[in-house]
Structure formats: C-alpha cells, structure tokens
A and B are shown apart, each in its own frame.
Chain A
Amino acid sequence: MKLPPWFLRLAEWAFAAVFLIAGASKLSQPLAFADSVAAFRLLPSQAIAPLALGLPVFEIVTALCLLLRRWRSAALLVLTLLSAIFLFALLQARARGIAVDCGCFGDWMKTSPSVAIGRAFALLACGTALYRRAINLS
C-alpha cells in the first residue's frame, strides 16, 4: 500500500514528538527517572546515574534530528532501537515479577506495566515501518 508523502511525514513528526516529550519529561526529573531505572534491576548501580542523565538528552537530540530531517534514517533507527530496549526492559520486569512503571514519561504520567508494554510495542512497530521506508527511499 502506497502511502502519501504527507502522511509519512506526519507519522515521523508524531513519532519524534513522543520521544521529545518523553525526553523532556525525564530531563525535568532526573532523580525520579534514576529511581525508575533502578527499579528494573537490570543495570549495575554505577550505570544508573549516567543512563538517567544521558538517555533523556539522547531522546531529545535524536527526536530533533528527525523533526529537522537531519540524519533522518539514523534518527529513526536510534528511536526504533530505543523502543525495542524499552520493550525488552518492561517484558523482563514482568517475567521476573517486578512491579514497575517504566518511567518513560517521568512522574507526570505513570502508567500500568501493561499500558507501558503496549505503548512500547506500538512505538517499535511504528519505528520499524518508518525506518524501512526511509532506507528504501535513500
């Protein structure tokens, strides 16, 4: 199915906006995000603070690249991989019986694990589709 270019661009903007909002929200509450990362019990304690500091900025910088269409396909790949990592983290927390909110949107928008998993899966599917289109057109 051939989708019009304006629809694809709108989809990319929406995809970027999600990560821009998520990154800005986490950037405003680094301690709360660090606590969320620690709750997953995936990383050694030394990695938690660098991740809590770096990930929100990484999301914002990459989302801006996508919005401004600079390194567009690289930005799509990065955001898609981030979605995959978030989904993995949430699924392994559920498998291990760890009750955790992903902290993806900071303390402002806490959601149940099921909603967070569904959201991460939707972002992964969207990102994968957009990236495949992007590299076919390159």
Chain B
Amino acid sequence: MAMANGSPGVSALLQRDLRRGAGLLGLSLALALAVNAFRSDPLPLRYQPPAERLSRVLAELGAGSTAPAQATLPETTLEEVRAISEGRKPGLLLDARPSLFYETGTIPGAENLSRETLRDDYPRLLPRLQAAQAASPSTPLVVFCSGSDCEDSVLVASALARLGHRSVTLFKGGWDAWEAAGYPTFVPEEKEPEQP
C-alpha cells in the first residue's frame, strides 16, 4: 500500500526486503557449495554424527566392533586425577578436547587424545599408552574433556576399549572441575605448571 506522498508503505518495503533476502540466500547457497567443493577437506553433504565418524576411524585403526556401554566405563574422582597428575599414583591422563583447547591449558601430565583427530593422535600416543601399562595392565588410562556435558571423553574412552586397551576410566568432572578446584594448570608450550 503506497503512502499518501507516493513513497512505498512499510508492507511493500518489507516484501521487497524479503525478496532481496531470498535472493541473497540463493546466492549464498551457491557460493557455499562452490567453496566446499574447493576445500582440501570438504564437508560431506550427508551429515555423520561424531560417534559415526569415530567408528569409521576406529575401523581404519583396526579396532574391534563392540563398544562398551557408558555405564560399564568406571569413573575416576578428582582426587585420584590429582594424585596421578602429581605422580603419587600410577596412571596416564588423556585430554579428549580439541587441540585448540588443550594448548590453552590442561591438567599437568595430560596428553592430548582428541576425538576430532584420533586418527593422527592415537598412533602418535600408542607408545606412551603401551609404556604406561607395561608394568601393570591395571594402570588406569583416565580420559576427560571439558565437563559432564561433553561426550568426547566417553567416545574416546570407548574407542580405547575397542582398540584393546584395558583399565580405561572416565573423569566426568573434566577440565571444568579441575579449574574450579584451583589446581595448577599446564600450558603445553610452557615448561612449568602455572600456579593459580
């Protein structure tokens, strides 16, 4: 509906802008598909959830097909994690968060075994995993991520179990619980743990 002075009304402007917006959307989708086609690692047009992607990686690594249910994975307490970190108890801490977060700070002594880059991280860490359990297979491999809402620790712990490792445990409280407790943190490129 036009205004009395001949300028288009709000409704007409809204319709015009919605049409232009639809045009921008179409242009964007075409550009997006073109950009994706030229990526070195294009995103598949069929989405695969993290668990499914991890299963493919595990198959490439030669893992067994049976994953333990989350309920069967034992849990480790904050105090036990601290004891392992300080060397008072045997064990190996594994940070399942993406490397971006690991590199900004982690629990002292933790190695990065990220769900996202397991294909590369696992072969690199395998000697360390084997060495940790060489003296005793019951030495715990403690997996954590950001906190109780993060599923990456469960996925990585299950992956380790499928790859034949024993004594895999979960630290559900994760990095959030460690930070909240005020314990020392470790930034990988630094040599000494940072005191809070």
Task: Report A's interface with B, CB cutoff 8 A.
Answer: 27, 30-32, 34-35, 38, 45-46, 48-50, 52-54, 56-58, 61-62, 65, 71, 73-75, 77-78, 81, 99, 107-108, 135, 138
Contact = CB atoms under 8 A, between A and B. Distances in A.
B117 to A, nearest CB: 11
B32 A74 contact: no
B149 A74 contact: no
B194 interface: no
B23 to A, nearest CB: 8
Interface string B2-31: 000001101001101110110011011101
Interface string B91-110: 00000001010000000000
A31 B43 contact: yes
B98 A53 contact: no
A45 B47 CA distance: 6
Contacts of A32: 98, 116
B145 to A, nearest CB: 12
Contact of B20 (A53, A74, A81, A99): A74
B45 interface: yes
B74 interface: no
B18 to A, nearest CB: 7
A77 B18 contact: yes
Interface of B: 7-8, 10, 13-14, 16-18, 20-21, 24-25, 27-29, 31-33, 35-36, 43-47, 49-50, 98, 100, 116, 149
A58 B8 contact: no
Chain B contact residues, majority secondary structure: helix
B33 to A, nearest CB: 7
B24 A65 contact: yes
7 contacts: A38-B47, A49-B45, A53-B29, A58-B32, A73-B13, A77-B21, A108-B100
Contacts of A135: 10, 13-14, 17
B49 A38 contact: yes
Nearest to B39: A30
Given A35-B49, A38-B47, 15 more contacts: A45-B46, A49-B44, A53-B33, A53-B35, A53-B36, A54-B32, A57-B28, A57-B35, A58-B24, A62-B24, A73-B13, A78-B24, A78-B25, A107-B98, A138-B13
Contacts of B45: 49-50
Nearest to A62: B24
B84 to A, nearest CB: 26
8 nearest A-B residue pairs (beta carbon): A74-B20, A58-B28, A48-B47, A74-B17, A99-B149, A57-B32, A30-B43, A78-B21
Given A53-B36, A74-B17, A58 B43 contact: no
B20 A71 contact: yes
A56 B31 CA distance: 11
A122 B16 CA distance: 26
A34 B43 contact: yes
Nearest to A31: B43
Contacts of A99: 149
Given A50-B45, A57-B35, A107 B13 contact: no
